[in-house]
Amino acid sequence: MKKISAEKILSIEDTKGFLEKVKKLNVLVVGDLILDKFIWGSVRRISPEAPVPIVEVRKETVLAGGAGNVCLNIVDLGADVSLCGKIGDDINGQIFVDILNKRNINHSLITENNYATITKTRIIAGSQQLVRIDHEQIKNLISSELEKIKPFFKEAIRRSNAVLISDYGKGMITPSLIQFISREAKGRILTVDPKINHFSYYKKVTCLTPNQYEASAGIRLPEPQNQESINRLGIKIRQKLKCRNLIITQGKDGMTIFTETGEIYQLPAISKEVYDVTGAGDTVISVLTLALANGFDILKAGLISNFSAAIVVQKIGTATIMPVELENIVRENIREISITKY
């Protein structure tokens, strides 16, 4: 075990070069689509009807969540993106499409009758999330729906530098879709933010990015309690799935990177203040994918995505990062960060 200065891995010049070159990149995103609604207000009193707070609403906002948030992270950094997913033929589905159109996100969406667009509504008072209300109807992608998106996918993959799978376990990701993607994306960077029940789908991909709980549950092992057990867990996942690289995100403890050459690196969390982890995994895999497509090795790509996560957890709600924020956080912190190599 030894300590390595992060400054030896990622420089300010690397970061600036990445932010400039990212404008020439194109990523194809495939995954579950969720409409994120936020009700913002304040609490001044408790209800006389029940022991619950009364939220005085100030505003309401809507954002593209799930794979949609991944796309917003990518376009906010300056790259182009294409999106495949599924919505319902309803008002929330139209709101989702409107968001994509306003951001000029190229898309091919399956719109299904008798299906409600998955929607998460968060009620936030000040900086505190009080409750989340989920409306979801999980229906797996069927063969006829897959056939509808194949032409778009084949055209999008032709001009893309990478393919990103954002798996929220809401029905879009199926074995037949993964088989199709693996065949068509052969030779491309393929990154996956996996869901527990779908771990076995993702063999020989470029990189998986589960969190600590997903990583252990995905291969039916107890959740690790220390860094040594995380290291053992990551080795087992790579052996089982034959993925080239693996990143296990650890929240306040940072992330651990497992490379295709068998090296293990632990990166500490950078953010001193965590307000909301909503969508942090989306930011990590978005920046990671862009960095790999830019030619960064997995350690440098993981490090810059770790800085990105530090930005987004300081924001309330589903959020993205801007280029200037990424450049600033690297400049202000890179000299203070040490990476542990096992």
| pLDDT per position as a tens digit, 91-137 | 999 999 999 999 999 999 999 888 999 999 999 998 889 999 999 98
pLDDT at site 278: 66
Whole-number CA gyration radius for the chain: 20
pLDDT at site 70: 96
* pLDDT > 70: percent of the chain: 97
- In the chain, the DSSP E strands lie at 2-5, 26-31, 33-46, 53-66, 80-88, 106-112, 119-125, 128-135, 162-166, 189-193, 207-208, 245-249, 255-258, 264-267, 338-341
How confident is the model over 263-276, as a mean pLDDT?
79
Looking at residue 67, the DSSP 8-state letter turns out to be H
By CB atoms closer than 10 A (0-12, 13-18, 19+), residue 220 is exposed
The answer to whether 123 touches 55, Cβ cutoff 8 Å, is yes
Statement: residue 144 has pLDDT above 60:
yes
- Are β-strands 128-135 and 2-5 bridged in parallel, bridged antiparallel, or unpaired? unpaired
Is residue 297 among the annotated active site residues?
Answer: no
Catalytic residue among 76, 134, 282, 297: 282
pLDDT at site 92: 97
Dump pLDDT digits (tens) for 49-72: 999 999 999 999 999 999 999 999
* Confidence category of residue 276, pLDDT binned at 50, 70, 90: low
Statement: residue 316 has pLDDT above 80:
no
Statement: residue 274 has pLDDT above 70:
no
| Secondary-structure class of domain 2-34+65-341 per CATH | alpha beta
Q: DSSP letter string over 182-213?
A: HHHTTTSEEEEE--GGGGGG--S-SEE--BHH
pLDDT at site 315: 80
* Confidence category of residue 292, pLDDT binned at 50, 70, 90: very high
pLDDT at site 252: 84
Residue ranges per structural domain of the chain: 2-34+65-341
How confident is the model over 275-297, as a mean pLDDT?
88
Dump pLDDT digits (tens) for 203-212: 999 999 999 9
Neighbours of 137 (CB within 10 A): 13
